[in-house]
Every structure is written in structure tokens, then in C-alpha cells.
Amino acid sequence: MTQVDRSRLESLIRALPKTDLHVHLDGSLRLATLIEMARRQGVALPSFTEAGLRETVFKERYRNLPEYLEGFAYTCAVLQDAESLERTAFELAEDCIGEGTVYLEVRFAPQLHVGPKLPLAETVRAVARGLRRAEAARNVHPDVVSGRVPRFKAGVIVCALRFFNEHFGAEYARILDVHRHAPREELFGLASLEVARAAAQLREEGEPVVGFDLAGQEKGYPASQHRKAYQAAHEGFLGKTVHAGEDYGAESILQAIGDCHADRIGHGVWLFDTTKIGPGVRDKQAYVNRLSEYVADRRITIEVCLTSNQQTVPELAGDLSKHPFGEMRRRRLSTTFCTDNRLVSDTTCTKEILRAADAFDLAPHEIRDLLIYGFKRSFYPGTYLEKRDYVRSIIDYADRTLEAAGFGPDPKRRRG
């Protein structure tokens, strides 16, 4: 690809309507905001300059996953009040709007932010307020009102954790203290059930809670321990997504689907890797093939996070083309590009898609189709008919954008 072609493609990607269905609030603060909040709240940072934090914490490359996660100790520390949560959600939405990401699902673990003056439900309401403020500011623009450009929409996905200890936060310490004699795995499930019930209730109250997620270490902490939580989310008509296949293999992905009713899978990096499958599976390749066929046929969407995967998976560090997205693409799985953590990975949706285009030689019309998957597989905060109308407006806008950029109709698409 020539420099001129790449510049043209980058401009097109920025102009096309995009989604971000897998983005963590506490991994996506503005660096300047983190510094300002830390100063105001008396939170110690390794540096109080952006350059210093880029050098010491939020790096271009990380040695391993634990180093990648170190930054969350600082971001979570400044997000312990409603004002900070609301502001961070608002600024994240603003940043997304600025690069043409017009649909956003922000996920966070409310129990990491609960305190004596901040109950669980209020953490969610604070994030929702920030997103609604961003929606209101964007959607009064004359071009939006006239229908020339798409409306901005956003929802909240609440996360539970597969594992926690007393150092994860005051709420987790309280749970462990109250239930001192209970097995830890029971408490992990109990905590996630509480979050799922709160999410379903908040949705009933009109908050834009659209989904439920499970994050954290997979190995040794199976999704089956959170079956009751996902059943509560299922009965509350919430979308279900699960971090799976991120640091464990295909069996974890099947657990997410079978035990948790997963509509989408976060990451799915090891979906095709037979070496990550346990000894209980005799024909590992057949297992991978059947699972990937099931995922493809049921249109269970994989939330692909290229940059963060490359930063945390040593096997991908030197060559992004080794990422399993290439095999997902070959097998025609439903996929969507996501940022995961905009601050920690120093990325945007535009950067993620451009990196995919470079590594996998994606043509403009294929990029358009991949972006549309994101809208179709979203947990849209509205009725089905409203979602259909919204997606139709997105498709029309994407096609107009392609044509204006000189790409015209897709010659491979069947007509009439």
C-alpha cells in the first residue's frame, strides 16, 4: 500500500460510522484528566506529566499481562466518586464522537467503585449521566437533526469479576468479611449475581444498561461459577458478553456460551489453538472445528481487540498478521473491532481498523461490512424496530461515505 493510498484509507476509516462494543471505562481516561483528578484527590502517581506516565505506566509495549494491568490501580483510584465517573464517561463519549464512533457500549465493574457514599446503583447512574450528556450535546447538531449524519447512541455494560480478593476494593473486602466461612468460589458467584440483579433493575428503571459481562482470570475461575448471575441477566433481557479465550483456550469459550448464554465473546484469541485445550478432549482439532462452526452459525460475535492482544500475548508481539482474526475472517465468523482500553493501549477505533487493514489487507468495502456487523450485533438501548431504523441509517450513511470517497458500489456484491 502506497503512502497516498494509506492516507486515503485512513481518512475513509475516520469518516465511516463505527462502533466500540468492548471498551473499559477505567482503561480509557484522558491522560490529562487522570493527572488532574489525582492531584485534586491526593492520589499518588509515578509522574504528574503525560510524558512521564507514558514512560512509566501507559507504554507502547508491555512485558506481559500483569504489567499491562498495573495502570488500572491508578485509574480506579481516581474513579471513586460519582462526579469522576460521570466526567470520564462523558469525555470518553466525546473522544469517540470526535473520530466517527457513533455507537458506544461502555463497560465497567461497579463493585470496584462502591464506597460508603457511593452505592452500586449510583456508580451505574453516574456513568449513564455522562453518556446521556454526550448524546444530548451531539444530537442537537444541525447535521444530526437533519439526518445527514448518524445520531450518537450509547449504553452501559456492567461487569462482574471471575475472581477477587480483599485488595480489589472496599466492596469486595466487605463481601469477604461478611461471609468469612463460605468457599471463595461461592462468593465470586454471589458477587456477580448481585451485579446482574442490579443491572436488570436499573434497566427496568430506564437507565441505558444494555448488557452484562464477566472479566478476569479465566484459568482456575470457570464461567460456570457465575451461572446464576447470567441466568438473572438472561431473565432481565440483558445482552450477554463474556471475556473468554483471552488467557485460556476454546473450552473457556464453550463455557461462556453454554453456561452464560453468551451473545458475544470478548477477545476469543485462543479459539483455534489446540495446544490450549485440556487433556479431557481427545480430538482437539475436531473440537476447535465444531466450536468455530457453532460460533459462526449462531452469529456469536467476537469482540476483536488487536492492539491490546498484541500487547499482552507474547506470540503476537512481533507480527499482528498472526492474530486469529485472519482465521476468523476466513471462516466467516461475525467479528467487530474494539479498542478494549483507549488509554492503556494508546488506541482509537480508527487506529484499530487501520491496523487490521494493514495486517490483513482489508479492502474498503470489506471494512464497511465489518463495521456494519458492530451495529447489527450491538445491545442497542431501544426497541428492535428502533434498532433496525438506526442500523438502516448507518448503512445508508456508510454507503454515501464510500461513494463520496470515490470507491463506489462493491463490485463483489450481488445485485437484484
Q: Point out the residues that are catalytic.
A: 246
CB 210 within 8 A of CB 154: no
The DSSP secondary structure of 68-108, one letter per residue, reads: HHTTHHHHHHT--SHHHHHHHHHHHHHHHHHTTEEEEEEEE
Amino acid residing at 195: V
Q: Where are the alpha helices (DSSP H) in 149-249?
A: 170-178, 184-204, 227-235
> For the chain, what's the residue count?
416
Task: Measure the CA dihedral 375/88/303/72, to 10°.
Answer: 180
Binning the chain into helix, strand and coil, the percentages to the nearest 5 are 55, 10, 35
Amino acid residing at 311: Q
The three state secondary structure string of 197-221 is HHHHHHHHCCCCEEEEEEECCCCCC
- Cell (9 digits) for 184: 471463595
Nearest to 401 by CA among 372, 360, 375, 361: 372
Calpha distance 397→391 (Å, rounded)? 10
Give the three-state DSSP class for 59: coil
Calpha distance 287→185 (Å, rounded)? 28
Q: How many CB atoms lie within 10 A of CB 145?
A: 11
Calpha distance 389→313 (Å, rounded)? 39
Amino acid residing at 156: V
- Cell (9 digits) for 414: 450481488
CB 203 within 8 A of CB 150: no
Give the helix/strand (H/E) hosting 21: strand 18-24
